[in-house]
Amino acid sequence: MTATSLRQRGPKHLLSMADLDRDDIEQILNLTESFAEVSERSIPRVPALRGKTIAWLFYEDSTRTRLSFETAAKRLLADTMNFSVGSSSVNKGESLRDTVETIAAMGIDGIVVRHGAAGTPRQVSEWTDASVVNAGDGWHQHPTQSLLDLYTARQHLEDLEGKHIAIVGDIKHSRVARSNALGFSAMGARVTLVAPPTLLPSTLDAWPVEVTHDLDAILEELDICYLLRMQLERQGQAVVPSLREYHTEYGLTSARADRLPNDALIMHPGPMNRGVEIAGEVADRPAAVITEQVANGVSVRMAVLFLLLGSGLDVVDEQRAIA
């Protein structure tokens, strides 16, 4: 497999981590390294997407992901178009398809979609010729989050083959969990989900994972402890008796963090609930690479946008061109 395989296959969209195999992921992560180097320059700009137009179609509140994508696009000198759902025709009852076709008619190359309903980016991809990037769809997928997590993990652990990652928390309602279960296992890592049964899907038969309800039993063998944000309103749905009990049973307390191996990483997609899924003090330890994840998000999204929207040049050539 060569570095150009993903490009030669001509993927048009990034909708799910299920679309990517290990070689694809490695290619994206390698490209991310080049863009990370760009980001460190005094003028962090490359004209790789000059003349391309990207529209943001965010149907769900997002500050972090959206800023990250916007920064990535700016560094590639792409033009961007912001479709603000709150003040748009969507509130006047326009259908999703009509919205997409309206934006597409203005001439765009890419659409970055976030929506509260699973599968929406895939539907959008069927209504436009532009490339579609899934920036999070309901409980389903958040592929760029997974890629930035893999990139961050790889920076510290080098090869992820055989490494053991625990994903802890509200798996059932988490697109990050669905993406990372696929992403980490594609890279050869062992993935264990840790959650009470009420925060797991009723079956995990199709997931490449192991499951436990006992975080304490596996702490010493982990290379990564990945904590998910606990949706505070879940308490009201009575899926956990109380946030206090959740913290006691499933939170990464100081005592639990002390039992992790010295070189283990603590990761979190943000935003954190300090004192719920992670003790406030633990989030500030050197092992917690949470702000690195955010920083790497920009470079990963540059790589993804470039791969999907870049000019006809071979990836290697373009890497050379931007170097």
Provide the edge-to-edge strand list for the sheet that holds 53-58.
79-84, 53-58, 110-115, 131-137
Stretch 249-308 residues interacting with other proteins (CB under 8 A): none
Binding span for other proteins by CB under 8 A among 25-33, 91-99, 216-224, 285-293? 91-99
Work out which of 96, 218, 287, 295 binds other proteins, going by CB under 8 A.
96
CA–CA gap between residue 243 and residue 251 (Å, rounded): 10
Q: Is residue 83 close enough to count as binding other proteins by CB under 8 A?
A: no
Cα pseudo-dihedral 36, 39, 45, 50, rounded to 10 = 40
Nearer to other proteins, 44 or 201 (CB): 201
Q: Where are the beta strands (DSSP E) in 124-201?
A: 131-137, 164-168, 190-194
Q: Which two tokens stand for residue 207?
A: 């997931």
**Residue 202 sits in the site that holds other proteins (CB under 8 A):** yes
Residue 207 contacts other proteins per CB under 8 A: yes
Tokens read off for 62: 């997002």
Residues in CB range of 229: below 8 A, 6 or more apart? 169, 170, 268, 269, 270, 271, 272, 273, 277
Judged by beta carbon, residue 86 or residue 93, the one nearer other proteins is 93
Say whether residue 138 binds other proteins (CB under 8 A).
Answer: yes
Among 12, 22, 74, 122, binds other proteins (CB under 8 A): 122
Residue 233 interacting with other proteins (CB under 8 A): no
- What distance in Å separates the CA atoms of residue 62 and residue 294, rounded to the nearest whole number? 14
Spatial strand order in the sheet of 210-212: 210-212, 190-194, 164-168, 224-227, 265-267
| Residue closer to other proteins, measured from CB, 28 or 176 | 176
Within 10 angstroms of residue 292's Cβ, the number of other Cβ atoms is 16
Determine, following the binding rule CB under 8 A, whether residue 118 of this chain makes contact with other proteins. Answer: yes
Q: Quote the least distance from Cβ 273 to other proteins, whole Å.
A: 21
CB of 124 to other proteins, least distance (A): 10
DSSP state of 85: G
Could you say whether residue 234 binds other proteins (CB under 8 A)?
Answer: no
Q: Where are the beta strands (DSSP E) in the chain?
A: 53-58, 79-84, 110-115, 131-137, 164-168, 190-194, 210-212, 224-227, 265-267
Told to check if 175 binds other proteins by CB under 8 A, we report yes
The count of residues interacting with other proteins (CB under 8 A) is 26
Contact between 117 and other proteins (CB under 8 A)?
yes
- Please, which residue, 43 or 206, has the CB nearer to other proteins? 206
CB 180, min distance to other proteins, A: 13
Nearer to other proteins, 83 or 306 (CB): 83
Assess 231 for contact with other proteins (CB under 8 A).
no
Contacting positions for other proteins (CB under 8 A): 95-98, 115-120, 122-123, 137-141, 175, 178, 201-207
